[in-house]
Amino acid sequence: MTEYTPMKHLPAAPGYKEGDLFVLFGELFGRGYATGIVDEARRAGMTVVGATVGRRDNGGGLRPLTVEELAEAEGNLGGKIINIPLEAGFDLEPAADGLSPVDRLKGIKPDDWASVRFGEGLLESSRQRGIERFTANLQRFVGELTPLVPAGGSVLFVHTMAGGIPRTRLFMPLLNRIFKGTGDKYLPSELFWNSELGRFCQLNFNEVTGDTFGRLLESTTPLRTAVESGGGTVRYVAYGYHGCGVLLGGEYVWQSYTPYVQGEAKMRLEDIAVEATRNGISAAVYNCPEIQTNSSALFLGVELSLYPFLTALVREGGGPVAEQAWQDCAALLKEGENLPRMLARVDDYLCAPLMVSYREFTGWPQHNGKEQMAFMLERSQELMAMSVDQKRVVCAELSRLVFQGVGRLMFDDSWAPQGPVLWLNHDIIARRLVS
Ligand SMILES: NC(=O)c1ccc[n+]([C@@H]2O[C@H](COP(=O)([O-])OP(=O)(O)OC[C@H]3O[C@@H](n4cnc5c(N)ncnc54)[C@H](O)[C@@H]3O)[C@@H](O)[C@H]2O)c1
């Protein structure tokens, strides 16, 4: 179990220089966390290279990007993408008998989810084949990357992969009940997690969110050795999540979104960084705040702990950045609403007696509760409804600020990490932005 180790001081400017290599391990989406660190790399004049997860064709096969898709992805990244599909996981991977886990779930009714059994060894067979495919593609990826490494220069790998929800219709109604269900629709995440389907989800999350980092470290060992023997350096960073310290009743307090079912996979990621650091590799996981991205859209309520970031900006020094953020956020509100009232409603939620037992660091990640879900979802909707346009809400604005601050902190700290696992809480991010 990792110790809670928040980043305490702002890292110094790193030594990356023009022509050094920045490798984004995962695809970049418009409002994703990685946007922040890619901007930093570009500003430093590094050569930006990216990856793709590839796409599934109509027959279900995994393929590289088409010419058009590649052009769009490279335009979005502002750099070359090595067009080898790096999708991880095994939900669509045929086992020895030719059927994938998702094939086996076809025709099962949502009400019968609890009685699903995959059959001895069949999940494991798909998992192994998924690992073989991913590792083989990763070898080819590294092969194409190697000639791009500057002699005697620095290489920074940024792991952003997370996901693994099995892509089958059966899952959506179940996950909607776990993450968004209240009253009769509420489904205890614990019940689901202890089922065969839950176990399948867990295994797939571990592959995508956790083990891809270990496989990256392993596959790049020859590259790392070659770079280091030529006087260069190789570093690795990854985006983690393990709750976050935010202002709650006027103090910075650790809290978490519940139910964060990817928690075990994220702890694997931390363990991989700890082990690599022990072996003399520069690897660090940065546990980041809850923000709104493509990946977090399913987790309604995850954004609640983001609102107090506005107060953190003032607490950590204020000034033009904080003032601008307050103005921009206030401009998004409906007539008659205001930010102090919004923040009071968030504080009332975060400090409520019902939420106290969900703030136990050692018990993380916790399962949901019926009352907790109803409270979280209702408060989430109430606060969202304070913005005029549901496509431009206050927490979208705050998400942008946070991924910028996080990008800068990770980029700077990666040069000489303060530890293998660090929490980027609201205080340090706000301090980075206002200073
Ligand atoms: N959004 C949040 O609140 C939050 C909080 C803390 C940490 N993070 C972490 O930040 C990182 C980026 O996430 P984001 O929220 O910006 O969302 P995002 O959707 O922009 O990024 C998700 C990434 O995962 C990759 N990915 C998805 N499925 C994959 C698969 N099967 N195989 C390989 N790669 C796959 C995507 O290509 C993409 O790079 C993730 O590690 C995420 O856990 C997010």
Give pLDDT tens digits along the chain (435 positions): 679 999 999 999 999 999 999 999 999 988 899 999 999 999 999 999 999 999 999 888 999 999 999 999 999 999 999 999 999 999 999 999 999 999 999 999 989 999 999 988 999 999 999 999 999 999 999 999 999 999 999 999 999 999 999 999 899 899 999 999 999 999 999 999 999 999 999 999 999 999 999 999 999 999 999 999 999 999 999 999 999 999 999 999 999 999 999 999 999 999 999 999 999 999 999 999 999 998 887 899 999 999 999 999 999 999 999 999 999 999 999 999 999 999 999 999 999 999 999 999 999 999 999 999 999 999 999 999 999 999 899 999 999 999 999 999 999 999 999 999 999 999 999 999 999
Report the alpha-carbon distance of residue 398 to residue 305 in Å, rounded: 11
Measured CA to CA, the distance from residue 416 to residue 410 in angstroms comes to 10
Task: Kindly report each contact of residues 225-232 with a partner whose C-beta sits within 8 Å and lies 24 or more positions away, as own/partner.
Answer: 226/146, 226/149, 227/149, 227/153, 227/155, 230/151, 230/152, 231/152, 232/149, 232/150, 232/151, 232/152, 232/153, 232/154, 232/155
Which atom in ligand 1 lies closest to the alpha carbon of residue 89? 31
**What is the structure's pLDDT at 1?**
65
Tell me how far the alpha carbon of residue 160 lies from the centroid of ligand 1, in angstroms: 5
The pLDDT assigned to 59 comes to 84
Report the candidate in 23, 89, 79 with the shortest Cα–Cα distance to residue 54.
89
DSSP assignment of 210-232: IIHHHHHHHHTHHHHHHHHHTT-
Say if CB 308 and CB 346 are below 8 A apart.
yes
CA of 292 to the centre of ligand 1 (A): 11
SS3 17: coil
For residue 279, with 0-12 CB atoms within 10 Å meaning exposed, 13-18 middle and 19 or more buried, which class applies?
A: exposed
- Give the strand pairing for 62-63 and 55-56: antiparallel
Nearest CA to ligand 1 atom 10: 239
CB 325 within 8 A of CB 400: no
DSSP state of 262: T
CA of 28 to the centre of ligand 1 (A): 9
- pLDDT score for 60: 87
Strand-pair partners of 389: 392
**Distance from the alpha carbon of residue 163 to the mean position of ligand 1, in angstroms:** 6
Dig out the tokens for 271 from the structure: 């363990």
Helices marked H in 331-415 — which ranges? 339-350, 353-356, 370-384, 394-413
Q: What domains can be seen in the chain, in order of their start residue?
A: 21-298+399-434 (3.40.50.720)
Closest residue by Cα to residue 406 from 423, 388, 389, 421: 423
DSSP reduced 3-state for 281: coil
Encode burial over 68-103: b for 16+ CB neighbours within 10 A, e otherwise: ebeeebbebbebebbbbbbbbbbbbbbbeeebbbbb
Ligand 1 atom closest to residue 161's alpha carbon, by position in its atom list: 24
pLDDT attached to residue 345: 98
Pocket test for ligand 1, best of 25, 29, 33, 286 (most atoms within 8 A of CB): 33
Is the entire prediction scored with pTM above 0.85?
yes
Pairing mode, strands 21-25 and 47-52: parallel
Ligand 1 neighbours by CB, cut-off 6 Å: 26-27, 29, 32-33, 53, 86-89, 160-164, 208, 239, 241, 288, 290-291, 293-296, 302
Are 7 and 413 spatial neighbours (Cβ–Cβ below 8 Å)? yes
CA atoms within a 13 Å half-sphere pointing along the CA-CB vector of 105: 25
